Amino acid sequence: MKRRAFITLLGGAATAWPFTARTQHKIPTIGFLGSLSQSAQSTWTAAFVQRMREHGWIEGRTIAIEYRWAEGRGERFAEIATEFIRLKVDVIVTAGTDAVIAAKKVTSVVPIVFGTAGDPVANGLVASLARPGANVTGLSNQSADIAGKRLGLLQEIVPNLRRLAIMANVGSSIGVLEMREVAVAAQTLGLEVATLEVRRAEDIAPAMNTLSGGADALYVVTEPLVNTNRIQINSLALQARLPTLHGQKPYVEAGGLMSYGANIPDLFRRAADLVDKILRGARAADIPVEQPTKFDLVVNLTTAKAIGLTIPESFLLRADEVIE
């Protein structure tokens, strides 16, 4: 054999060997079920992937991640979870109560880790926080639990707050639960409550029109449908000069007045810790659901000025971020 031909053959073998090795030793695969869009959850996925790298799981080398985006359409959750089962993923990572419920109905075997979900015990995601049981674990965002805290903050900047409107997707488990919790907290504070129940994007404008100046502020329950339509909601509130209260920063970036809630990128970073444990042999059933440790207060000063609201300097100094 000529020397050049031998070198070419050897080079081809060297090139082919890693492929053969990869086919023989399948790397673990994560199915990432995004309840929103890729852009809307980019900071969440970035935090997750970075933490996985710190654990030695490098995307494309030691682990594969299949991303699917539901774009806020709840009917897509089960479809995506079913696709993941066909792909034989090792773990499903997702966010939001309804996405977890849908995935749990599709599989009782593949581990499911939620980066954020509202009241996982009340919504039936886990048996208890300490001992989740079944194949699900993750991080609670405590959104419904801190409804009273949010309203207390709102009262500080809307001193004449008397009547509170609450918007929620009542087709969502967390929408119904949090709306109830907010109503109870509001009544405890002596506030009148008006509920705006929506099930689809087309319900939002008519629901807002029913207020006709009959509310002093609007509490928007964080959930995929309203998240996808947060610009419309905030635009309508701005036209009505209505202060809005949210659970996450993206709503405020989209023109909302204020948000207070768990830092979601931090939750997804910690979700990677749980996934790492599962990939190394732990059972989801034995990994306790964790609570948030970082909460963010975000204020949109531009929106405040647009609706004629003066926010005390002392309040702004307490905010984690002020958007101007």
| Domain CATH for 208 | 3.40.50.2300
Residues 217 and 308 in one domain: yes
Share of the chain residues as helix, strand and coil, in percent rounded to the nearest 5? 45, 20, 35
Q: What was the pLDDT predicted at 118?
A: 83
Stretch 29-43: mean pLDDT? 94
Buried b (16+ CB within 10 A) or exposed e, 143-161: bbbbbeebbebbeebbeeb
Whether pLDDT at 75 is above 60:
yes
Residues 215 and 318 in one domain: yes
Whether pLDDT at 19 is above 90:
no
Q: What was the pLDDT predicted at 258?
A: 98
Whether pLDDT at 144 is above 60:
yes
Whether pLDDT at 20 is above 60:
no
Q: What is the DSSP letter of 96?
A: S
Residues 285 and 222 in one domain: no
Span of 135-139, 170-174, 188-192, 283-287 with lowest mean pLDDT: 170-174
Whether pLDDT at 94 is above 50:
yes
- Quote the CA–CA distance of 207 and 195 in Å, as a whole number: 9
Residues 86 and 36 in one domain: yes
Whether pLDDT at 16 is above 60:
no
Q: Using an 8 Å Cβ cutoff, are 41 and 95 in contact?
A: yes
Q: Which amino acid is at 14?
A: A
Q: What was the pLDDT predicted at 62?
A: 97
Residues 98 and 9 in one domain: yes
88 token code pair: 């034989």
Residues 203 and 269 in one domain: no
Residues 97 and 169 in one domain: no
Backbone angles phi, psi at 56, to 5 degrees: 95, 5
Residues 132 and 245 in one domain: no
Backbone angles phi, psi at 30, to 5 degrees: -105, 135
Stretch 99-113: mean pLDDT? 96
- Residue 297's alpha-carbon distances to 252, 257, 316, in angstroms, are 10, 11, 9
Residues 284 and 258 in one domain: no
Stretch 89-95: mean pLDDT? 97
Q: Using an 8 Å Cβ cutoff, are 62 and 27 in contact?
A: yes
Q: What was the pLDDT predicted at 25?
A: 52
Residues 184 and 312 in one domain: yes
Stretch 231-241: mean pLDDT? 96
Model-level pTM greater than 0.75? yes
- Quote the CA–CA distance of 99 and 115 in Å, as a whole number: 11
- Quote the CA–CA distance of 275 and 284 in Å, as a whole number: 9
- Quote the CA–CA distance of 144 and 67 in Å, as a whole number: 28
Q: Give which of 291, 298, 228 is closest to 260, Cα–Cα.
A: 298
Q: Give which of 186, 181, 183 is closest to 161, Cα–Cα.
A: 186
Whole-angstrom distance between the N-terminal and C-terminal Cα of the chain? 73
Helices (H), 118-159: 147-157
- Report the number of distinct structural domains present in the chain: 2
Stretch 113-124: mean pLDDT? 90
How does residue 29 score in pLDDT terms, banded at 50, 70 and 90?
very high
CA–CA–CA angle 161, 231, 80 (5° rounding): 120
Q: What is the DSSP letter of 48?
A: H
Residues 306 and 159 in one domain: yes
Quick one: CA torsion of 288, 90, 123, 274, rounded to 10 degrees?
30
Whether pLDDT at 138 is above 50:
yes
Q: Using an 8 Å Cβ cutoff, are 68 and 80 in contact?
A: yes
- Its domain, for residue 285, covers 3-141+263-294
Residues 273 and 126 in one domain: yes
